[in-house]
Structure 1
Amino acid sequence: MTTQAHDNPIKLCREEPAFAVRLARDLLGVPIPAHSEVHAYSESGTDSEVRDLNADNVVLCREGEENRFGIIVEVQRGKDERKRFSWPAYQVNIRHRLTAPVALIVVCQQPAVAAWAAEAIELGHPGFTFRPLVLGPRNYPKLTEPSGSGELAEEMVLGTLIHEHAEEIEQLFAAVNAELALVPPEKAKRYTEYMLGQLSEQPRRILEALMEQDTYPYQSELLAEREARGRAEGEANALLIIIESRGLSLSDDERRRIETCQDLNELNSWLKLAATAPSVKAIIG
């Protein structure tokens, strides 16, 4: 099962498939053939002859109807020897499906994990050695200057996640905040949520403190939305405590409706009914 911390870097590639191309070409020096389009592609590397194989993210570079190059992006947060078998399988099977060259990139936050992921994988056949391309704290650039156009938003967001323990983290946050101010507000808020959802406690507090300065409009909007969500979650939890303490029967659908409600007025009205209503249905309708 994947976690939010695992998925957030992958969301950048899913939202902006060309980001994977930039990682491969600009940061790792992979020669990417000329192409006119970049598309998200199925992460499944499954063929009928093998068991399910699902990479984290795959993008496809195309020129007209021709598949030119595939890029697999994996996020690895810890050492897992099973990956030394699945990574070559992803590359071979997706290459077979695309009938085009395919590169595999592994993104790591921990230097020790990055060093492990970069080790050669001997496949048994003479001369057939698989070497993942790895991005980690030692080779991912620290982008402390905004581009002025928003074009480095994905690179800078990923950089804060990879370098969250770097001495320059405040500079990285200041730069990414300025960069996100240049992209559409909804995208800026999503990317900020990705960072807040993945960062460990200390760097997250630094980012939150910078956001509270309200330097950019999207930050104040996001803080207000997060505060409203927090209040709604608190009201929903209080309502569930009352329902459970009264011993009222609560179905999964009713619990889900309460937990996902973001309307504070509705939650308040439910709370007023909760003390005396004979059933959950009488509370939420």
Structure 2
Amino acid sequence: MVSSSHEALHRIFQEDPALFARAVKGLGITFAGPLSGEPLPTDLTENRPVDRRLDTLLRMDARDGESFLLAVESQGKPDPDKPASWAYYLSHLHAKYGLPPILLVVCADRRTASWAARHVDIGPPQWPSLTVRPLVLGPDSLPVIDSPDEAARDIPLTVLSAALHRRDPDADAILKALATALKDLSADDENTASIFIELTEQGLGKTPAADLWRHIMAADLSFFQSQTAQSLRAEGRAEGRAEDILFLLDGRGVEVSEEERARIVGCEDLDVLSVWFARAITAVSAAEVFTSAGE
């Protein structure tokens, strides 16, 4: 079954096709700044019953007039059958569209990225007839974007950075920078901000970073409109918010005494709990959750 995190790693290129040129700069490869990308059908099935589908397929039109096909595959784990499928995709696309194809494989796992980056020869060792050479984006090929200003300059790249670094210690800093940038964006374009909020949520998968993202969104429901934020708003239960506060503090390594834990769990005022939750995002002690500076 295809997961939401799988979808996010290739859908981000549908939202911003020009992201491709910016993302692969870290691989030492330069393209002439594609200005637009036209989505193409991803179904490569032939008349015979062989089902072959790409994740995302875009026709890229570059500034210098060059056009090429960008096939994006989100890969969650090594698969020995994939190189043969990729070779088929590339050959089929070249024959069908008459344009040079590029295969981009996006992996949130370092081991998978290393595996996908291999050049695979197809044919006898004396004379391979075809070599599959995918471009691979993984945690080590995309920078950590942890500055709100830098995140605001390229939100799609920051979303991709968050997804690929979701298991790294830097994930928290990326998400906080991204949240700030998206809050500013939502003031001008709420719909676009909502798209990138959802892609971030999906791209983080089932990781601790995803829990932190839900907590960050819940801290300011006035502008975050994702499905998670909406469900939290609709739920409105003090018990659930208390658990969120304790989870966040525990995840950040903040010690909570039994007395402080009992105070949080025993509070039934959702407004008070919301204030405490917002403070818990940056508090260095449990005492700061109950009393902010200057109070």
**TM-score past 0.5 threshold:** yes
Change in Cα spacing, 1:82 to 1:140, as seen in structure 2 (3 Å) is same
What's the counterpart of residue 112 of structure 2?
113
What's the counterpart of residue 190 of structure 2?
185
Cα distance in 2 for partners of 1:31, 1:48 equals 37
Cα distance in 2 for partners of 1:29, 1:50 equals 40
How much has 1:194 moved relative to structure 2? Answer: 2.7
Question: Match for 1:200: what amino acid?
Answer: K
Q: Is the 8 A contact 2:61 2:67 kept in 1?
A: yes
Q: How does 1:152-231 map to 2 (within 5 A)?
A: 152-183=154-185, 184-197=189-202, 198-214=204-220, 217-219=222-224, 225-228=230-233
Cα distance in 2 for partners of 1:67, 1:20 equals 15
TM-score (norm 1): 0.69
How much has 1:54 moved relative to structure 2? Answer: 1.2
Cα distance in 2 for partners of 1:102, 1:71 equals 6
How much has 1:2 moved relative to structure 2? Answer: 1.9
Q: How does 1:111-150 map to 2 (within 5 A)?
A: 111-124=110-123, 126-127=127-128, 128-147=130-149, 150=152
What's the counterpart of residue 3 of structure 2?
3
Cα distance in 2 for partners of 1:6, 1:132 equals 18
Count of paired positions? 228
What's the counterpart of residue 258 of structure 1?
none
Cα distance in 2 for partners of 1:147, 1:105 equals 28
How much has 1:200 moved relative to structure 2? Answer: 2.4
Flag structure 2 segments of 5+ consecutive residues without an equivalent: 237-295
How much has 1:50 moved relative to structure 2? Answer: 8.5
Deviates more, 1:160-169 or 1:55-64: 55-64
Change in Cα spacing, 1:73 to 1:86, as seen in structure 2 (3 Å) is same
Q: How does 1:1-285 map to 2 (within 5 A)?
A: 1-24=1-24, 26-32=25-31, 36-48=35-47, 51-62=50-61, 68-124=67-123, 126-127=127-128, 128-147=130-149, 150-183=152-185, 184-197=189-202, 198-214=204-220, 217-219=222-224, 225-228=230-233
Change in Cα spacing, 1:81 to 1:130, as seen in structure 2 (3 Å) is same
Flag structure 1 segments of 5+ consecutive residues without an equivalent: 232-285
How much has 1:27 moved relative to structure 2? Answer: 3.4
Change in Cα spacing, 1:187 to 1:88, as seen in structure 2 (3 Å) is same
TM-score (norm 2): 0.67
What's the counterpart of residue 252 of structure 2?
none
Q: Is the 8 A contact 1:43 1:57 kept in 2?
A: yes
How much has 1:97 moved relative to structure 2? Answer: 2.0
Q: Is the 8 A contact 1:17 1:40 kept in 2?
A: no
